[in-house]
Structure 1
Amino acid sequence: MASQNLETQAMCEVEEGIADVLKKLKYSGRNIVAKAAILKIIVKEDKIVIDDELEDITTEELREELPEIQPRYIVYNFKHTTKDGRTTPQLCFIYYHPQGCNPNQVMRYAGCYQKVYELSGAVQSVELVDCEDLTDEWLIKQLRLT
C-alpha cells in the first residue's frame, strides 16, 4: 500500500497547453535562434507548469535564469556548429536538480522526469547539478556533439 501511495504521489498533471509550447519549441530549430522553456512543479497543485519561455538566449544567459536551490526541467533548442562548419539545431532536455534542494522536491521531479522528457520530444537528456556548469562547452560535451 505504501509503495502505491509513493507512485501516485510522484506523478503530476501537466498543465494544458504545455505540449503545444514544447512542440513549437521543437520545430522552431530551423530558424537557428536559441529558445528555451523552463518548467516547474507546483507542489500544492501537483501540476507541471511553464515557469518561463525564453527566446534568442545563450547558454550562459539561460544559466542566470535558474533558481539556486529549486529543481527545474529545461527544454533547450540551440544552434550548434559542426566540425565541417554546418549550423544545426539541437534540442535537448536538461533535468536541473541542484544540491541543497528539498529531498521531497527532488523525488517529485525525479518521479515526473520520464513523463516530461517524453513530452519534450528531445532525443537527448542531461542532468545538471551545479548551474555554474551550464556552458556551451559543458553542454556540447554532455551531448557528445564533439
Structure 2
Amino acid sequence: LNLVLEKNCYIIPVSHWFYQLQTMTEAQICDISPEAKEEISKFRFRRNASNTALILKIDREKQLVTVDELLDDVAVEDLQEQLPSHQPRYIIYSYKMVHDDSRISYPMCFIFYTPRDSQMELCMLYAKTRMALQREADLTRYYEIRELDDMTEDWLREKLR
C-alpha cells in the first residue's frame, strides 16, 4: 500500500515496520517515444511468414524508450549476435512455430534481456520501465534472460508450449 502525502511525494513500504519516503521523480519510469509506439503497433499487426524481432533500448539522456533495430527473417540464435553483451534490451519477437500436427502459428513474445555484468543503475532503469512497455505492446508472454547463450530455439519452443 503506497500512501500519497503530497503532489510529488509518497510513502512506500520497505518492510513490515519500516516505510520509506520517496518522491515521484525517483519512482518514474522512462517514456516510450512516439516512434517506438508506432513501430510496436506496426509490428504487432504485420503479416510475416518468418521470425521477426523488434529490439528496443532506452536512451539514458532523454529517458526514452526508442527503437534499436527491426530484424526480418532472424533465427533466435542469430538474434544473439545482434544484442550487446553488456547492455539490457527489450525484444518483441514473432516466432514461426510449426506444431506436431503440422499447424503453423506465429506466437509473439516479450523478452527482457539483462546481462549479468550490466551496470546496476541501467538494469534498474530497464526493470522499472519493463511493465509499461509490455503493456504498450499488449503482450502476455514474457520471458527474462540473463545469458545470451541460453537464448536458443529449443529454449523458446519450451517456453511457448
- TM-score of the pair, normalised by structure 2: 0.83
Gaps of 5+ in 2: 1-8, 10-20
Report the counterpart of residue 12 of structure 1 in structure 2: 30
Give the aligned residue type for 1:73: Y
Counterpart contact for 1:13–1:46, Cα < 8 Å: yes
Give the aligned residue type for 2:31: E
Alignment partners' CA distance in 1, 2:138 and 2:78: 23
What number of residue pairs does the alignment pair up? 141
Determine which structure has more spread, i.e. the larger CA radius of gyration: 2
Alignment partners' CA distance in 1, 2:79 and 2:93: 9
Matched ranges for 1:112-123 at <5 A: 112-123=129-140
Counterpart contact for 1:42–1:49, Cα < 8 Å: yes
Q: Does 1:94 align with 2:111?
A: yes
Greater share of helix: 1
Alignment partners' CA distance in 2, 1:52 and 1:97: 17
Shift of 1:31: 2.9
Alignment partners' CA distance in 2, 1:132 and 1:104: 24
Gaps of 5+ in 1: none
Shift of 1:3: 2.0
Match of 1:124 among 132, 137, 141: 141
Match of 2:84 among 47, 59, 67: 67
Q: Which structure carries more relative contact order (alpha carbon 8 Å, separation 6+)?
A: 1
Match of 2:98 among 76, 81, 86: 81
Counterpart contact for 1:37–1:54, Cα < 8 Å: yes
Shift of 1:33: 1.7
| Identity of matched residues, % | 28
- TM-score of the pair, normalised by structure 1: 0.91
Root-mean-square deviation (CA, aligned residues, Å) is 1.3
Summarize deviations over 1:99-145 as a string: whole Å, max 9, x none.
011000010000000011111222201001001111110012123x1
Counterpart contact for 2:51–2:94, Cα < 8 Å: yes
Give the aligned residue type for 1:70: Q
SS of residue paired to 1:61: helix
Q: Which runs of 4+ in 1 moved over 6 A?
A: none
Q: Does 1:43 align with 2:65?
A: no
SS of residue paired to 2:115: coil
